[in-house]
Amino acid sequence: MSDTQPILEVENLCTTFTRGGVALPAVRDVSFNVGKGEVLGLVGESGSGKSVTLRSILGLSRRYGDVTGSVKWMGQDIAQMPERKLRHIRGRDIAMIFQEPMTSLNPLLTVGLQLTETLKAHTDMGRAARRDRAIEMLDHVGIPAAASRLNEYPHQFSGGMRQRVMIAIALAASPKLLLADEPTTALDVTIQAQILDLILSLADELEMGVILVTHDLGVVAQTCKRAAVMYAGRVVEQGDVRQVLRAPRHPYTVGLMRSVPQDVPPRSQLYTVPGTPPSLEALPQGCAFAPRCQGRTEGCLVARPPLEAIAQGRSVACFNPVIDAQGAAA
Amino acid sequence: MTQPVMDIKDIELEFQGSRTLIDFVKQRPGRVVRALNGVSLQLNKGETLGVVGESGCGKSTLARCIVRLYEPKRGSIHFDGKDIFAAGAKADRSYNRRVQMMFQDPYSSLNPRMTTGQILSEALSVHKMRPEGEIASRVAELLDLVRLPQDAAGKLPHEFSGGQRQRIAIARALAVEPEVLIADELVSALDVSVQAQVVNLLLELQDRLNLTILFVAHDLRLVRHVSNRVAVIYLGRIVEVGDSETLFSNPSHPYSQALLSAAPSLDPDDKGSAIRLQGELPSPLNVPPGCPFHVRCRHATDFCKIEVPELRALPGRGEVACHHAEEVSENA
């Protein structure tokens, strides 16, 4: 919980796609805030709506689906803002890095051109100033011999280097909020550590807020201040990262934490969450996790538990929150 | 002392790149990717040997060599005392039955036009595991073994989730009653909660059927959990091999140390030791001379740039390929 005014306030965000006449609610009633310089982790398994949430914040899902709810950027609602106005915020105030460093750069344009493009759109720098800034950014993200690499094409960079280029592009216009969609999933652990260190130090230096989407609980533990756990399109638990990981209250978070093989006897049976996540076409009527939950009651199958605050800055969407769960990092 | 069932000796494998126009002009041969540079490993009966390393280090190539999908340029692989690449050995299909591989991607490793029943019975009839009449009951048995519902036999792969598909892949491998399983990133494509289900199944089946498993993965926590012994591989060379617990708690090679410390801990206050590797994996097109790790190593000396370190046993540790292993492991 940040004491100052949050820079981003997301309230009751819902994104629904339609396929063949069937509604697919990908994001349902998601609410959270991000403060200045705060790193928020959005955790969940594939299909839980993490990425769609990020895209909906920037208005990237509205062409494909129905987005409702409010997204307030510095007090201004950007969820319903016309595309033309939104374009001034996108890339300048809020930047995004995507998961695939291999496919999110244009292979036909030089890295330098892709970097200066952002500056051209959002700043009034001259050509030479833009070039200098581009070199400075590449240098900043740890690309050696930055000046000579401006004229190279993405295929001449390795995966880790491309992700650095993506970060440089995202940060070129000094955004106040960075949306990072699994920025390290495609990379090796040693490179992942370098990239996460880089994002953290830049967030610190530029007082930039970050929303980090990931499925890796270790990444969340190491980088985020707060964490929100998503399941089937909803936030099921939210709070300070230490509290969420050490004393998870939602049975799904407990299951996630315990299924990671850490601090268990080698080769012992791991804790598992029975079953698989529900398909969006056939979400259960009550709590989406109820069919897999061991502590479910009759009520869970009928009504949907709302996300309620249980302590300062801590909320859980469960009728019977787990009291004394042994988090894996306890 | 356990008997090694598989003895891999100094295997080397190169992939020949095609000659580009520039190569023609400069009259030089095409570039060569050196995927494996002398890998030696023993696989003991009933154990799980984990293989870890960054992408492009040769983990999967090694796995594929073992199942004879690639033939190494030099070196040998002996299974049960017999050279699997010897003349005429390829005609012996029984090896293919005894050593089975499971692949990483559950979405592309099953034929989308065959039902689960057909996939499993094909394996059974090719290797003549059962007479025709008993195949159906064996398929039912296999589905039961990997805990899939019986009606799964009539379904196509697209009707299953990723975790269920990997179960089908396990059932397919087990159909021919193999002795050795090669699991190439078996659970990497799965979500955490499903991963645990598949890992539990694999461990349970290993105990029940006395299987030997080569577990290739990049998730260090998972490898630590399932393996008895672990081999760390870097640029087509084994840099450290040893008992899983010793290696994970006390890595001796500077690369193992860096690799292990890069894995993010689940404890927010455990920021890990600050060993951060500089730079990236050199391209296997251009393997550095001497110790392949010296360009990223904090302990590298001039000697490391010239001489390739051999794997040697370190007291109280496993085998390490580092000239300075003693000092490095003391400082760790």
Same domain, residue pair A220 and A247 = yes
Same domain, residue pair A195 and A117 = no
Same domain, residue pair A59 and A165 = no
Is A294's Cβ below 8 Å from some Cβ in B? no
Same domain, residue pair A15 and A85 = yes
Domain assignment present for B116: no
Q: Work out the pLDDT band at B331, boundaries 50, 70, 90.
A: low
Give the number of A-B residue pairs with CB atoms closer than 8 Å.
120
Domain assignment present for A330: no
Domain assignment present for A290: no
Which range marks the domain in which residue B84 is found? Answer: 4-106+184-193+209-331
Domain assignment present for B268: yes
Q: What percentage of chain B carries pLDDT values higher than 70?
A: 98
Instruction: Find, among A75, A231, A100, the residue nearest to A165 by Cα.
Output: A100
Instruction: Find, among A43, A48, A55, A118, the residue nearest to A88 by Cα.
Output: A118
- How do the residues of chain A divide into helix, strand and coil, expressed in percent and rounded to 5? 35, 25, 45
Domain assignment present for B147: no
Calpha distance B217→A268 (Å, rounded): 18
Domain assignment present for A76: yes
Residue A39 has pLDDT above 70, yes or no: yes
Domain assignment present for B85: yes
- Count helices and strands (H / E) in chain A: 11, 12
Domain-terminating residue out of A174, A189, A205: A174
Task: CATH number of the domain at A76, please.
Answer: 3.40.50.300
Q: pLDDT tens digit string along B157-200?
A: 998 888 899 999 999 999 999 999 999 988 887 888 788 889 99
Q: pLDDT tens digit string along A228-241?
A: 999 999 999 999 99
Domain-terminating residue out of A174, A204, A225: A174
Residue A195 three-state SS = helix
Same domain, residue pair A86 and A187 = yes
- Spatial CB neighbours of A261, under 8 Å, sequence gap ≥ 6: A270, B196, B199, B221, B222, B224, B225
> Residue A12: its pLDDT value, please?
95
Is A264's Cβ below 8 Å from some Cβ in B? yes
Q: How many domains does chain B have?
A: 1
> Residue B187: its pLDDT value, please?
87
Name which of B52, B164, B193 to mutate to probe chain A: the one with the most chain A Cβ atoms within 10 A of its Cβ: B193
> Residue A330: its pLDDT value, please?
36
Quote the minimal CA–CA distance from B43 to chain A in Å: 18
Q: Work out the pLDDT band at B10, boundaries 50, 70, 90.
A: very high
> Residue A280: its pLDDT value, please?
86
- Spatial CB neighbours of B132, under 8 Å, sequence gap ≥ 6: B125
> Residue A1: its pLDDT value, please?
44
- CB pair distance less than 8 Å for A221 and B225: no
Same domain, residue pair A20 and A64 = yes
Domain-terminating residue out of A174, A190, A225: A174
- How would you write A109-154 as a 3-class SS string? CCHHHHHHHHHHHHCCCCHHHHHHHHHHHHHHCCCCCHHHHCCCCH
Domain assignment present for A66: yes
Residue A148 has pLDDT above 80, yes or no: yes
Mean pLDDT of B224-236: 94
Domain assignment present for B229: yes
- CB pair distance less than 8 Å for A329 and B197: no
Domain assignment present for A123: yes
> Residue A327: its pLDDT value, please?
44
Is A216's Cβ below 8 Å from some Cβ in B? yes
Q: How far apart are the first and last CA of chain A?
A: 22
**CA distances, A129 to each of A51, A126, A168, B65 (Å):** 34, 5, 16, 54
Calpha distance A151→A129 (Å, rounded): 16
Domain assignment present for A205: yes
Residue A28 has pLDDT above 50, yes or no: yes
Quote the minimal CA–CA distance from A202 to chain B in Å: 17
CA B283 from centroid of its chain's CA atoms:
20
Calpha distance A174→A168 (Å, rounded): 10
- CB pair distance less than 8 Å for A194 and B277: yes
Mean pLDDT of B125-147: 91
Contact yes or no for B143/B152 (Cβ under 8 A): yes
Which range marks the domain in which residue A50 is found? Answer: 1-93+175-267+307-322
Task: CATH number of the domain at B24, please.
Answer: 3.40.50.300
Phi and psi of A175, rounded to 5°?
-70, 165
B3 or A175, greater pLDDT? A175
Of A107-121, A161-175, A181-195, least confident by mean pLDDT is A181-195
Name which of A226, A276, A281, A294 to mutate to probe chain B: the one with the most chain B Cβ atoms within 10 A of its Cβ: A276
Same domain, residue pair A196 and A224 = yes
Same domain, residue pair A85 and A194 = yes
Average pLDDT score, chain A? 89
Phi and psi of A263, rounded to 5°?
55, 40
Calpha distance B326→A128 (Å, rounded): 53
DSSP-assigned letter for residue B19: P
Same domain, residue pair A158 and A131 = yes
Domain assignment present for B114: no
A3, amino acid identity = D
> Residue A328: its pLDDT value, please?
41
- Of B193, B204, B277, which is closest to A259 when you measure between CB atoms? B193
- Spatial CB neighbours of A34, under 8 Å, sequence gap ≥ 6: A6, A7, A8, A40, A177, A209, A210, A211
Find chain B residues with C-beta within 8 A of A270's C-beta.
196, 199-200, 225
> Residue A253: its pLDDT value, please?
93
Residue A2 has pLDDT above 50, yes or no: no
Residue B30 has pLDDT above 80, yes or no: no
- CB pair distance less than 8 Å for A260 and B194: no
Contact yes or no for B180/B212 (Cβ under 8 A): yes
Chain A window 83-122: which residues touch B at a Cβ cutoff of 8 Å?
Answer: none
**CA distances, A187 to each of A16, A190, B8, B77 (Å):** 31, 8, 29, 32
Residue A54 has pLDDT above 90, yes or no: yes
DSSP A284-309: -SS-TTGGG-TT--HHHHHSPPP-EE
> Residue B76: its pLDDT value, please?
93
Phi and psi of B262, rounded to 5°?
-80, -20
Q: What percentage of chain A carries pLDDT values higher than 90?
A: 54
Residue B246 three-state SS = helix
Mean pLDDT of A192-197: 86
Find chain B residues with C-beta within 8 A of A329's C-beta.
265-268, 270
Domain assignment present for B327: yes
Domain assignment present for A72: yes
Same domain, residue pair A251 and A205 = yes
Calpha distance B124→B104 (Å, rounded): 22
Q: Work out the pLDDT band at A104, boundaries 50, 70, 90.
A: confident
Residue A42 has pLDDT above 90, yes or no: yes
Is A203's Cβ below 8 Å from some Cβ in B? no
Mean pLDDT of A105-117: 93
Show the CA angle centred on residue A149, arms to residues A145 and A152, nearest 5°: 160
Same domain, residue pair A39 and A69 = yes
Contact yes or no for B237/B226 (Cβ under 8 A): no
Calpha distance A131→A144 (Å, rounded): 16
Same domain, residue pair A164 and A19 = no
Chain B residues contacting A, CB < 8 Å? Answer: 48, 54-55, 161, 163-164, 191-197, 199-200, 203-204, 218, 220-222, 224-226, 228, 244-245, 258-259, 262-272, 276-277, 280-281
Q: How many domains does chain A have?
A: 2
DSSP-assigned letter for residue A90: B
Residue A103 has pLDDT above 70, yes or no: yes
| Helix or strand run (H / E) with residue B304 | helix B302-306
DSSP-assigned letter for residue A281: G
Mean pLDDT of B231-256: 92
Domain assignment present for B117: no
Residue B121 three-state SS = helix
